């Protein structure tokens, strides 16, 4: 005779929900948003069905809709005009730049929206790298100084947290000190502590034209600063260093192929963990769903719940709006 039957707690949805260990809500989501110059402009991103580049006015409209659905945080990326790109990234801290104007416009229209602008030089670089190039290499410390100026500029515009995604050594400390010295003690840092050099970023780079340029004199990829995807312990080393330097939230990127890293970091730290459900992951689900190979809605909710199960507190995902609609139903 069987005395212990696990199926007793799976008999119906009511009892399954009663003993459920992880629950996905709209409070978990951060929506990445692409912004471009112009007015009343919207451009589809072919490799990311349902995702668009928008002008500031339409971005504000989108943020209002997101907030009404319960998505209370956005992560901002700029499509920078070619004539503004150089090897210093100085447009990144232009007080009248596209990012700064976007932050202000969203804050004015949706004061409760949490704004987390991306901090990296690749959209502003003529080389498509996250840092300044000298003698054919991405140099670390001068890039950190640029990232600090960029972060302070974002804070001045009204950002709630800054999100350095560059993977330069020591940049969290440099940014934290710059924010403190400028009086922005309440502006947090979402540190991309364990960001891997991944093949899953392709659609994102096409959306911003931010891929490294094919130039014999510069690195053809970002492997000299982003992490080797073969490594696990290295991620913990990066995480601990960023915590010591003043990070408020720890990011792991990409998401689904790196759930083991999320879980290991969760076991090791008490800080909030963010995970990035990146463009390639989004594109794969959409492509399979459009071909009838996967159920779009069920796959979205299952995938996002996996991040919660692994230990994430917040999920950066292009599915945020779509998932919010599904959850609100």
pLDDT digits (tens, 9 = 90+) for 3-48: 899 999 999 999 999 999 999 999 999 999 999 999 999 999 999 9
| Segment 51-109, tens digit of pLDDT | 999 999 999 999 999 999 999 999 999 999 999 999 999 999 999 999 999 999 999 99
Confidence of residue 274 (pLDDT cuts 50, 70, 90): very high
Cα separation, 47 vs 169, whole angstroms: 32
Catalytic residue among 107, 195, 222, 321: 195
* Burial of residue 41 (number of CB atoms within 10 Å: 0-12, 13-18, 19+): middle
Catalytic residue among 85, 107, 253, 286: 253
CATH of domain 6-11+28-328: 3.20.20.70
**What are the distances in angstroms from CA 73 to CA 29, 57, 197?**
7, 18, 26
Cis peptide upstream of residue 254 (ω within 30 degrees of 0): yes
Residue 73, strand partner residues? 114
Domain boundaries in the chain? 6-11+28-328
| Segment 278-313, tens digit of pLDDT | 999 999 999 999 999 999 999 999 999 999 999 999
Is 137 noted as a catalytic residue in this protein? no
Instruction: Please give the pLDDT value at position 217.
Output: 72
Cα separation, 176 vs 179, whole angstroms: 5
- Say whether 238 counts as a known binding-site residue: yes
């Amino acid at each position: 005779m069987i005395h212990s039957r696990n199926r007793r707690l799976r008999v119906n949805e009511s009892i399954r929900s009663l003993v459920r260990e992880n629950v996905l809500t709209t409070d978990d989501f951060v929506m990445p948003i692409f912004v471009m110059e112009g007015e009343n402009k919207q451009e589809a991103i072919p490799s990311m069905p349902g995702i668009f580049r928008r002008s500031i006015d339409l971005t504000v409209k989108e943020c209002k809709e997101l907030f009404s659905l319960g998505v209370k945080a956005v992560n901002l990326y700029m499509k920078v005009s070619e004539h503004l790109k150089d090897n210093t990234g100085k447009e990144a801290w232009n007080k009248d730049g596209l990012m700064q104007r976007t932050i202000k416009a969203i804050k004015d229209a949706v004061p409760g929206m949490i704004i987390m602008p991306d901090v990296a030089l690749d959209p502003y670089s003529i080389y498509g790298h996250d840092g300044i190039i000298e003698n054919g290499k991405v140099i670390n410390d001068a890039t950190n100084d640029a990232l600090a100026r960029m972060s302070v500029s974002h804070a001045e515009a009204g950002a709630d947290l800054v999100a350095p995604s560059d993977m330069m050594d020591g940049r969290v400390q440099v940014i934290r000190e710059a924010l403190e010295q400028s009086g922005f003690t309440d502006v947090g840092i979402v540190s991309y502590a364990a960001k891997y050099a991944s093949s899953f970023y392709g659609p994102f780079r096409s959306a911003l034209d931010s891929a490294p340029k094919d130039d014999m004199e510069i690195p053809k990829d970002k492997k000299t600063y982003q992490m080797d995807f073969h490594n696990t312990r290295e991620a913990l080393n990066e995480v601990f260093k960023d915590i010591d330097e003043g990070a408020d939230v720890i990011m792991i990127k990409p998401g689904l192929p790196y759930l083991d890293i999320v879980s290991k970091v969760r076991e090791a730290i008490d800080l909030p963990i963010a995970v990035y459900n990146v463009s390639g992951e989004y594109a794969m689900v959409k492509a399979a769903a459009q071909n009838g190979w996967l159920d779009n809605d069920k796959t979205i909710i299952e995938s996002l719940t996996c991040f919660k199960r692994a230990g994430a507190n917040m999920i950066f995902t292009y599915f945020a709006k779509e998932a919010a609609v599904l959850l609100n139903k």
